[in-house]
A and B are shown apart, each in its own frame.
Chain A
Amino acid sequence: MATASKNKTNDAAVSSAAPASSGSIATFNKDQEVSAYRDMLLIRRFEEKAGQMYGMGLIGGFCHLYIGQEAVVVGMQMALKEGDQIITGYRDHGHMIACGMDPKGVMAELTGRRGGYSHGKGGSMHMFSVEKHFYGGHGIVAAQVPLGTGLAFANRYRGNDNVSVTYFGDGAANQGQVYESFNMAELWKLPAIYVIENNRYAMGTAVNRASAQTDFSKRGVSFNIPGDQVDGMDVRAVKAAGEKAVAWCRAGKGPYILEMMTYRYRGHSMSDPAKYRTREEVEKVRTGHDPIEQVRARILSSKMLTEDEIKKIDAEIRDRVNEASEFATNDPEPDPSELYTDVYRETV
């Protein structure tokens, strides 16, 4: 097919991986740079380990890795406060770790063990944490968008000033329920931030093959929802955009859309050979725009940390991930009696 071959080398995707951001770039002090580096690296190493464990047969089913997109969740998290809610789709490991969920519990859920966040009953795509205000982890593309809008509704109903952040991809952005949600969110001025993670491909379909309007920040225009396109590979740009959106929502002005221009390095899931793009395309983003390398380079060039200090952080992160994978490998499977629990809550 002509369109398919035309899109094999999606140069447009690569060149706009770092778009002219309509927002500003936050200035990070040393603590912020180091903390962003640490948080993104933890997600990266966790995901690499998850990929390896999948390859070893320890993780079953579908497993969607977040590698390449780390700056989005880490930057957004820096703009939030206690009580703000997070919800996302099935590419969710990074979001959970960014929320502060324990990598051991996340990895043990991936391996289907009793110490997993859902006691092994949810798996990679379905995890939740009431404590960290993480509302999943949803396997149906775009189902989280009305749900996240409902979280925002609950905040307004209760009269608190918390916001909900609903993450979804460029693929999900074409589902009808997204626009049903946009309409209600603006109509009722709900404190909902919609973060569209545009990683250029909905499974194997490049954005321009599936979307009539490829500028997703404009998808709220007919509902009067403001939107910004953000360099999702630069954690400072993400944080600045996040703060702008959060301020808008907390002020009672209604929802806000942030389109994060990002890129996933791995296939859609572990079983995706990613033949719809060239190796060069991936390589170009990795070498030119990697979110973690950017911070690392800044930390070193501004002499915030020495090479040795960075290496020490790298080792700490690696240990933490190894600890998680060891726990997830050795933790027992759920007790068979768990089969029938948690279908209903007891009626009081």
Chain B
Amino acid sequence: MPDVLMPALSPTMEKGNLAKWLKKEGDTVKSGDVIAEIETDKATMEVEAVDEGTLGKILVPEGTADVAVNTPIATIIAEGESASAAPKAEAKSAAPATPTAPAEAKVADTKSAEAKPAAPAQPVVAADPDVPEGTAMVTMTMREALRDAMAEEMRRDDTVFVMGEEVAEYQGAYKVTQGLLQEFGARRVIDTPITEHGFAGLGVGAALAGLKPVVEFMTFNFAMQAIDQIINSAAKTLYMSGGQMGCSIVFRGPNGAAARVAAQHSQDYSAWYSHIPGLKVVAPSNAADAKGLLKAAIRDPNPVIFLENEILYGQSAPVPQLADYVLPIGKARIVRPGKDVTIVSWTIGMNYALKAAEELAKDGIDAEVIDLRTLRPLDTPTIIESVKKTGRAVTVEEGWQQSGVGAEIAARIMEQAFDYLDAPVARVSGKDVPMPYAANLEKLALPSVADVVNAAKAVCYR
């Protein structure tokens, strides 16, 4: 004979008032019948019978205030049971209906409080593969390197396809997908309508079904239309499915400020995406890294945000001519070793950082410059080791300072290398304003080589 319990009708309800009985003792009830009304602080709610039978005894009369959740409020006598069986069953407190779980849950809570699971240790990421002595280096633009990376992966794996606005017949709004349609055809190089939210979601759906989409955003500024699908669908599904359903997908395109396109087309999303567990975030600064990391991103079984930069597309650099040049995601690179101050940057920020290092050298300051290349997972050990050596650090980014990547790096240095610091960490960043259009104002809004030089000198007390 099941008890009818005082139900919880919201995630936070602990007690309520039993306002009214709609059935009386002896009434027949069937599953779904409304038998009582209860009042919470928010609303009046109905209590429905779940079991069929006769309403036995009403244990809590109407008008009773503050009835705790899970208090038996009545009994229901099932067909064939007699009313006299009621008290006996009550005494036994109807085992199956008694919620034993909350007690168990508490036990588990205490246990988990005692033995808090340790966050996984920083994963060991392999170093860059050796480029054999004598390997030919081909000078190419980042644009060409990205195209080659996609083409090589598409040749290797038929489930890889490219989609986005103007990627096929137009050959790419920034010509990054040039020639792909000619080689792979319209089945695998797909022009989409201007519909970022829709095609990002469609790409995630295809990835859940086992394909490996490379979704191009004409710029990441337009990906804000799609950010729900990127975060809620792509980044979280593996976790929400208990590891069953993964999403191998690359979202790529130019990120950050180009030139003279003003506030809505000039935002740096490094901090936005690197905030999200479940995503990997890559932001290369040169052609070779772009090629090796995009190939890695396409092969990665997780969603990868691949942040490119319009200004860097045309910059050339030597790329090793290897059949399969793949770089590890999650590994920073010390581009310029030094001993006096660590400068940390990524993507276009490296232009400022490296030029600043040259300027500083003239003044006798030997800067070590780290190219992060990946923003999530962040290669903290490389930064920390460097800071232990130099005792000083400057971060450089085009994005805003508040909750930025530089803020995160500064926090990690403070947590892990506090005793090694000879000066507070300095952050060089975009100014805290929407990007202005006027040429002079735009220049002021962005970081400059001089800003980096000044910051480095400041932390060196020079």
* Interface set of A (CB-CB < 8 Å, partner B): 45, 48-49, 51-52, 54-58, 60-62, 67, 85, 87, 111, 116-122, 126-130, 135-140, 143, 145-155, 157, 176-177, 180-181, 183-184, 187, 265, 270-271, 273-275, 279, 286, 322, 326, 329-330, 332-333, 336-348
Contacts and interface: CB of A to CB of B under 8 A. Distances in A.
A151 B195 contact: no
Given A62-B11, A180-B197, A348-B301, A121 B205 contact: no
18 contacts: A55-B6, A55-B47, A57-B99, A60-B11, A120-B242, A121-B242, A128-B237, A140-B233, A146-B229, A147-B201, A150-B205, A181-B201, A273-B46, A333-B104, A338-B117, A340-B119, A342-B243, A347-B299
Nearest to B22: A279
A185 to B, nearest CB: 9
Given A57-B102, A87-B205, 12 more contacts: A136-B240, A138-B232, A147-B201, A154-B206, A184-B198, A273-B46, A342-B239, A343-B238, A343-B277, A345-B246, A345-B301, A347-B329
A347 B302 CA distance: 8
Contacts of A148: 205
Interface in B236-251: 237-246
Given A52-B50, A56-B70, A342-B239, A129 B244 contact: yes
B237 A271 contact: no
B237 A181 contact: no
Interface string B262-283: 0000000000000001101000
Interface string B26-55: 000001101000000011111110100000
Contacts of B108: 332-333
Contact of B202 (A49, A60, A181): A181
A286 B209 CA distance: 38
Contacts of A147: 201-202, 204-205, 208, 229, 233
B209 A150 contact: yes
Contacts of A155: 209
Contacts of A121: 239-240, 242
B70 A57 contact: yes
Interface string B126-139: 00000000000000
A49 B112 CA distance: 29
A39 B202 CA distance: 31
Interface in B277-296: 277-278, 280
B253 interface: no
A177 B97 CA distance: 44
Contacts of B112: 336
Residue of A120, A150, A286 ringed by the most chain B CB atoms within 10 A: A150
A151 B208 contact: yes
A268 to B, nearest CB: 12
Nearest to A328: B101
B364 interface: no
B5 interface: yes
Contacts of B187: 157
A177 to B, nearest CB: 5
Contact of B7 (A55, A135, A329, A346): A55
A331 B336 CA distance: 56
Most buried by B among A127, A155, A273: A273
Nearest to A120: B242
B80 interface: no
Contacts of B32: 48, 67, 265, 286
